[in-house]
Amino acid sequence: MPRIAMFDAKQYDHDFFAQENRDHGYDISFFEAKLNPETAVLAEGFDTACVFVNDSVTREVADVFAGYGVKLLALRSAGYNHIDLDALKGRLDAVRVPAYSPHAVAEHALALILTLNRKTHRAYSRTRDSNFAISGLLGFDMHGKCAGVVGTGQIGRTMCEILRGLKMNVLAYDPYPADEWAQEHGVEYVKLTELYKRSDIVSLHCPLTPENVHMIDRSTIAMMKDGVMIVNTGRGKLIRTEDLLEALRSGKVGAAGLDVYEEETDFFFEDHSSNIITDDNLLRLLAYPNVLVTSHQAFFTREALTNIARITLENVRLYFDEGRIENPIPDFDAGTGRVNG
Active-site residues, by number, are 235, 264, 296
- How far, in whole angstroms, is CA 137 from its chain's centroid? 29
* Residue 298 binds ligand NAI, judged by CB under 6 A: yes
Residues facing residue 27 across a β-bridge: 3
Nearest of 119, 126, 123 to residue 140 by alpha carbon: 119
| Beta carbon nearer to ligand NAI, 43 or 111 | 111
* Residue 148 binds ligand NAI, judged by CB under 6 A: no
* Residue 247 binds ligand NAI, judged by CB under 6 A: no
Residue in 25, 90, 175, 337 binding ligand NAI, rule: CB under 6 A: 175
User: Which 3 state secondary structure label does DSSP give 139?
Assistant: coil
Nearest of 39, 54, 56, 53 to residue 5 by alpha carbon: 39
One DSSP character per residue, 28-96 reads EEE--SPP-TTGGGGGTT-SEEEE-TT--B-HHHHHHHHHHT--EEEESSS--TTB-HHHHTTT-EEE-
Min CB(77)–ligand NAI separation in Å = 7
* Residue 265 binds ligand NAI, judged by CB under 6 A: no
* Residue 233 binds ligand NAI, judged by CB under 6 A: yes
* Residue 114 binds ligand NAI, judged by CB under 6 A: no
| Residue nearest to ligand NAI according to CB distances in the complex | 153
| Binding to ligand NAI in span 71-90, by CB under 6 A | 78-79
Burial of 314 (0-12, 13-18, 19+ CB in 10 A): middle
Residue in 176, 274, 287, 331 binding ligand NAI, rule: CB under 6 A: 176
* Residue 259 binds ligand NAI, judged by CB under 6 A: yes
In 254-301, which residue ranges form alpha helices assigned H by DSSP? Answer: 280-287
* Residue 105 binds ligand NAI, judged by CB under 6 A: yes
| Binding to ligand NAI in span 191-230, by CB under 6 A | 205-209, 212
| Beta carbon nearer to ligand NAI, 154 or 199 | 154
Name the region of 90 (left: φ>0; alpha: ψ -120 to 50; beta: rest).
left
- How far, in whole angstroms, is CA 51 from its chain's centroid? 14
Residue numbers of the site for ligand NAI (CB under 6 A)? 78-79, 99, 102, 105, 150-156, 173-176, 205-209, 212, 233-235, 259-260, 296, 298-299
